Amino acid sequence: GESVGLHLPTLSVQEGDNSIINCAYSNSASDYFIWYKQESGKGPQFIIDIRSNMDKRQGQRVTVLLNKTVKHLSLQIAATQPGDSAVYFCAENWGTGRRALTFGSGTRLQVQP
Amino acid sequence: EAGVAQSPRYKIIEKRQSVAFWCNPISGHATLYWYQQILGQGPKLLIQFQNNGVVDDSQLPKDRFSAERLKGVDSTLKIQPAKLEDSAVYLCASSLEVARDNEQFFGPGTRLTVL
């Protein structure tokens, strides 16, 4: 399939290492955040979400950290595997009537075997 | 369960031509979204439907883009006439309910190239 993004910031890690992907979000009113994984030729896939009343949430091998003071979101992937290689997007949402997400520009994660 | 289906997967047209994309959401999902993803960028919402009604089309270029979801299930997105800058992947997503934290499931997208 075609590449999702050829000129995205790239994070290259060794298999088994931990990865940290960062995102600066745009709207101080945002109160719901999601991390998506997008493999080449596929649509984005939900990884983990967090509400603004939390500063940390853990899933299986993934942790999301939220710092509302500086409008920063990070995704930590433990024991990174080759199958984690993809483009990662953070997305934000705000407002009571608005449902759609606003996506960031993405980071490409390359896992070296 | 079956995922979100989109067709065609790829389309190449000349500028000023017309094109249409089709989306079949996950069965029972009331909310359907069309996003445009330009290479190297995150998806950008074009239009959101709740059943067969439009919830948000504020970012849809209405002079050339149109979308419909007549029976509240399948949806089509049309571009007429296409411009070079419309080259992108068009993603369809659906979610079960209107709740904001309801997970959106994405289809594989349609890759449009305008020459």
In degrees and rounded to multiples of 5, residue B89 shows phi and psi of -100, 130
Interface probe for B, chosen from A27, A99, A103 (most Cβ of B below 10 Å), is: A99
Pick the residue of A101, A105, A107, A108 with the most B CBs within 10 A to test the interface with B by mutation: A101
Query: DSSP labels for chain B?
Result: ----EEE-SEEEE-TT--EEEEEE--TT--EEEEEEE-TTS--EEEEEEETTEEEE-TTS-TTTEEEE-TTSS-EEEEESS--GGG-EEEEEEEESSS-TTSPPEE---EEEEE-
Nearest to A99 by CA among B36, B52, B102: B102
Residue of B65 and A113 predicted with greater confidence: B65
Q: How far does Cα A41 stand from its chain's mean position?
A: 18
Radius of gyration from C-alpha coordinates of chain B: 13
Residue at B58: amino acid letter: S
CA distance A45 to chain B (A): 7
Which parts of chain B register pLDDT below 70?
Answer: 1, 98-101
Q: How far is CA A20 from the centre of its chain?
A: 9
Identify the pLDDT of residue A97: 56
Mind listing the pLDDT tens digit for each residue in A82-110? 999 999 999 998 766 556 788 998 999 99
CA angle A63/A68/A73 to nearest 5° reads 35
pLDDT tens per residue across span A44-58 = 999 999 999 999 999
Burial (CB count <10 Å: 0-12, 13-18, 19+), residue B62: exposed
Instruction: State the pLDDT at residue A96.
Output: 60
- Tokens representing A51 are 């509400």
pLDDT score, position A1:
35
- Give me Rg for the CA atoms of chain A: 14
Q: What is the arithmetic mean of pLDDT over A69-80?
A: 96
- Residue A2 pLDDT exceeds 60: no
Q: Give the pLDDT confidence score for residue A98 in this predicted structure.
A: 57
At B102 the pLDDT is 72
